[in-house]
Amino acid sequence: QKEVEQNSGPLSVPEGAIASLNCTYSDRGSQSFFWYRQYSGKSPELIMFIYSNGDKEDGRFTAQLNKASQYVSLLIRDSQPSDSATYLCAVNMVTGGGNKLTFGTGTQLKVEL
């Protein structure tokens, strides 16, 4: 089992729809969880992070965390073509040691006109 698992996609959604990106992780003791966006040929950009169970909203983005199910998701409301990118889930795992982040392989999102 991979430590941080994401569906590689591509996930295609029409403009204006809600995009739902999912991530599962193996280390039950993980403390904090991050979503990064990476455009092709560019470096990752931090969108938001979450550390408590429940929802955290920031503009059009909502992160959801369920530690019991070891599951974290990112919802993007009113998806725009400019949201088309690869979304990386990252986890600060206790077994990783210190402050390393373990990244998933990313989900490619395509927002279609």
Residue numbers at the binding site for other proteins (CB under 8 A): 31-32, 34, 36, 42-46, 49, 51, 88, 90, 92, 98-101, 103-106
Contact indicator for 11, 110 with CB cutoff of 8 Å: yes
Beta carbon nearer to other proteins, 17 or 70: 70
Quote the least distance from Cβ 69 to other proteins, whole Å. 21
Beta carbon nearer to other proteins, 79 or 102: 102
Quote the least distance from Cβ 50 to other proteins, whole Å. 9
Q: How many C-beta neighbours within 10 Å does residue 25 have? A: 23
Q: How many CA atoms lie within 13 A of 63 on its CB side?
A: 24
Quote the least distance from Cβ 12 to other proteins, whole Å. 18
Beta carbon nearer to other proteins, 77 or 105: 105
57-91 as b/e: b if 16+ CB within 10 A: eeeebbbbbebeebebbbbbeebeeebbbbbbbbb
The pairing of beta strand 45-50 with beta strand 11-14: unpaired
Quote the least distance from Cβ 42 to other proteins, whole Å. 7
Beta carbon nearer to other proteins, 56 or 60: 56
